[in-house]
A and B are shown apart, each in its own frame.
Chain A
Amino acid sequence: MSEIWRYLETNADDVLTALVQHIWLALIPVAIAFVLALPLGALVHRYVPARHIALTAGSVIYTVPSLALLLLLPGLLGTSVLDPINVVIALTLYSLALLVRTTADGLDAVDTTVLQAATAMGYRPVRRWFTVQLPLAMPVVLTGLRVATVANVSMVSIAALIGIGGLGQLFTRGFQLGFYLPPIIIGLVLSVTLAVIADVLIVAIQRGLTPWARAGAR
């Protein structure tokens, strides 16, 4: 225990930098994927051919091992191997594969009677989409966002293997120092804590945004 504290005292700056980097590298892809997933999910929900393409593409992306993708991307994009943009793009792709699907599922789950009622009340399509359809899809969409966020927080660690920051660096350092435990434990505890906090935050947002979703389950 004392060894861990000593490691933290001497490497406080490094650990903090790694943590902040980890947060950015995990959250930026989710944010980008979320914004992209709304229109793409809507397309997939609406057009059957788009659904086949999206589901196939999503499965293909998921079958590519993350490490392989991180090594492939620089070659495909012409970026430097050490560029964090590779990590951001790779994780955005993974998040997108998941979020497009859950967004479409969320939209599919909206009761068509309710949408017909909205049309009959005199909603125009755009307003109906933003004030009826999307809010009603939110419980499922946000559940997908939870999974994607937590998955990202754990996947960012792999970035350290190709020399990019984040809490994964603490693992690699522990291994380089002959399986020296303190940095490994610190990295583990911090990334788990980060995942839990992110999860709790999204649940809080979910509850705030969709109080009605729990209304029936008294």
Chain B
Amino acid sequence: MIEFEGVTKRYPDGTVAVEDLSLKVDTGQITVFVGPSGCGKTTALRMINRMIEPTSGRILIDGDDVTSRPEAQLRREIGYVIQGAGLFPHRTVLDNVATVPILQGISRREARTNALDLLERVGLAANLGERYPAQLSGGQQQRVGVARALAADPPVLLMDEPFSAVDPVVRDDLQQELLRLQGELGKTIVLVTHDIDEAIRLGDKVAVFDQRARLAQFAPPADLLAAPADDFVASLVGRDRGFRGLGFADGSSVALKPIDHGVDGLTLEVDHDGRPLGWRGTDGLLPTEGTFSDGANLRTVTDLVILSPAGAAIRVDAEGRADGLVLLEDLAGSVRSQQRERLAALATSEDAG
């Protein structure tokens, strides 16, 4: 766990980069610092590995003050991924990845062997190992940056706008890759971004900083969408937050109707195995526009309800056989009660806090 205790960073010219920040970053989770430029999110991140020293307050990692150890030693045990990868242009990919283990005194040969495994882990071909960074694409460089940060197997990983320098398609890949890696590794990750969608996608918890360098809200993404703490957070979260919030709700909570339940003169037609074929009505057979199965979120289910000619999403089992329908009215009821429950729970926790 990483704890910020009343941390303030004030520069000699009077600028306050971070104001009285107190928060706890949970072990094994991704915590995202998000906010506009100049909000202090990067400063907060860099105080964890002492790239920047706080003016007052302290930061603890698993109970130990970060200032209790020499800077260089502390940093070697904290992975760091910098914006634009920041690879050493004069070293090959393998030597880049091997950097921290070599600093820790591991032999170059051993460090390079381990580096090769890491390349594979971040989805890079082994033959890229002998190339120089300039010979890689932006996305590949960023993957190497992640591999380099993971090389010494640090429990904590700091990521400073790691995906902002690549195009949207590559960014999407890298985000997916990070979630996959995190599923395997379970690191304590602090990630800084100015992109709220990235924050919502990647974060187990999201810390929103406002322009005045203060923590505006610190909550799981679903709560951020459901109940922004103030106008600033609401405007940052942006449009359609209700609909986007459905992405965090369980689709299986909605009541199902049997598949032979007629809707508005349309009935579901299935083949002899029970797989949906389409909606039969007076105009003939209309397309189903897709199905969902167990584990789908409410956003997917809602989308299917909207697209369906019958206003009903079709649930299928593992074999693809239709086993239930979600009707618009049942969906509406479920969304309404879930939002009420969430708001009630947030109100209780605020009263308790």
A124 to B88, CA, bound (A): 16
A135 nearest in chain B by CB position: B90
Q: List 11 A-B contacts (CB under 8 A).
A: A113-B82, A117-B82, A117-B87, A120-B51, A120-B80, A121-B148, A122-B74, A122-B75, A122-B76, A136-B90, A215-B131
What distance in Å separates the Cβ of B257 from its nearest Cβ neighbour in chain A? Answer: 56
Cα–Cα distance between A122 and B80 once the two chains are bound (Å): 10
Interface membership of A143, Cβ < 8 A: no
Chain B residues closer than 8 Å to A216, beta-carbon distance: 132, 134-135
**Bound complex: CA A193 to CA B89 (Å):** 35
Contact of B103 among A114, A121, A218 (CB under 8 A): A121
Verify A212–B132 contact, CB threshold 8 A.
Answer: yes
- Taking CB atoms, residues of chain B closer than 8 Å to A111 are 86, 89
A212 / chain B contacts, CB cutoff of 8 Å: 89-91, 132, 134
* A116 interfacial contact with B, CB 8 Å: yes
Chain B residues within 8 Å of A117, by CB? 80, 82, 86-88
> Is B339 close to A, CB under 8 A?
no
B83 within 8 A of A: yes
What A residues does B74 contact at CB under 8 A? 122
Closest chain-A Cβ to B116's Cβ sits at a distance in Å of 19
B200 at the interface (CB under 8 A from A): no
Interface residues of B (CB under 8 A from A): 49, 51, 72-76, 80, 82-84, 86-91, 99-100, 103, 131-132, 134-135, 148, 158
Answer whether residue A85 sits at the interface, using C-beta atoms and an 8 A cutoff: no
Does B135 lie within 8 Å of A215, measured CB to CB? yes
Cβ of A116: which chain B residues have Cβ within 8 Å of it? 51, 82, 86
- A residues near B91, Cβ cutoff 8 Å: 212
Rounded to whole angstroms, the CA-CA distance of A212 and B49 in the bound complex is: 30
Q: Which residue of B lies closest to A218 (CB)?
A: B135
Bitwise, A136-153 to B at CB < 8 A (1) or not (0) is: 100000000000000000
Closest residue of chain B to A209, judged by CB? B90
The 8 A CB mask of A68-107 against B (1 = contact, 0 = none) is 0000000000000000000000000000000000000000
Bound form: Cα–Cα A215–B96 in Å = 15
Bound CA span A121–B100, Å: 6
A121→B75 contact, CB < 8 A: yes
Identify which of B51, B84, B86 gathers the most chain A CB atoms within 10 Å of its CB. Answer: B86
Name the distance in Å between A106's Cβ and chain B's nearest Cβ: 13
Question: A122 contacts B134, CB within 8 Å?
Answer: no
Which residues in B have their C-beta under 8 angstroms from that of A218? 135
Give, as a whole number of angstroms, the nearest-CB distance from B39 to chain A. 20
Complex interface: chain A residues within 8 A of B90 (CB) = 132, 135-136, 210, 212-213
B86 partner residues in chain A, CB cutoff 8 A = 111, 113-114, 116-117
A119 within 8 A of B: yes
Residues of B within 8 A of A24 (CB): none
